[in-house]
Amino acid sequence: MSDPGERLQKVLAQAGFGSRRVCEDLIADGRVTVNGEVATLGRRVHPEHDRIEVDGVPVGVRPGLVYYLLNKPRGVVTTAHDPQGRRTVVELVPSDPRVFPVGRLDADTEGLLLVTNDGELTHRLTHPSFGVEKEYVAQVEGRPSRGAVRRLREGVELDDGMTAPAKVALIEPNVLRIVIHEGRNRQVRRMCEAVGHPVVRLVRTRIGPLRDPKLRPGAWRPLETAEVRALERATTRGAEQVEG
């Protein structure tokens, strides 16, 4: 007798979409598809073979995929291998399976970094068309004026073009909170330098919906399934906002 599979609402609940009742409502509202077709209550699926989506976002972490949230310390380089022999971020997380950092933080920048072997999610988190926010706290030289903050918000001219509008707040006389959705090389540092306030210390405090103020420098933890889902939803919303 062939395996009938698992009830769809059970699979959705295990993937972090809420209680089975909530998942039944998602199905009843027509928000769930299986292999491109709108699912109905009572549907059974094989998660390892069927493509399940909620609001267009794929469901289910495929076997073998891992997701680590790392608090990168200063002096560690964001690469899988460094010819100069410096310590790399992949040396701070488990070596098996092989993983790669999502995006880059320069050696002097600290804070949250996602490390994974999920190439599709990596692309969605790093490509500017998906518009996923990254939040930084920057201690800078001098005391930025209202005009300097306004320039950062509206966009500043860099050698590779004008930056997109950013969310910027002065949280201390010489400390800025900056939220961007681009991923240019050393962008926050170059933005601050462009308005006359070079960065003294830079820490990334958020990647899309991910925060963890309790994660100490050099420490890592696996993402929960619900956090992976939240990242996928963030990339979907970002793409929709750009297209809209």
Give the residue numbers annotated as catalytic, written as ranges.
Answer: 106
With helix as H, strand as E and coil as C, how does 135-198 read? Answer: EEEEEECCCCCHHHHHHHHHCCEECCEECCCCEEEEEECCEEEEEECCCCCCHHHHHHHHCCCC
What's 128's DSSP letter? G
Spatial distance between the Cα atoms of 70 and 87, rounded to a whole number of angstroms: 14
What's 129's DSSP letter? G
Containing 202, the helix (H) or strand (E) segment is strand 199-207
Query: Closest by alpha carbon to 140, among 111, 180, 172?
Result: 172
- For the record, the structure tokens of 240 come out as 């929709």
* Per-residue b or e along 125-137, where b marks 16 or more CB atoms closer than 10 Å to that residue's CB: bbeeebbbebbbb
Residue found under tokens 């790392």: 70
Residue 110: left (phi > 0), alpha (psi -120 to 50), or beta?
A: beta
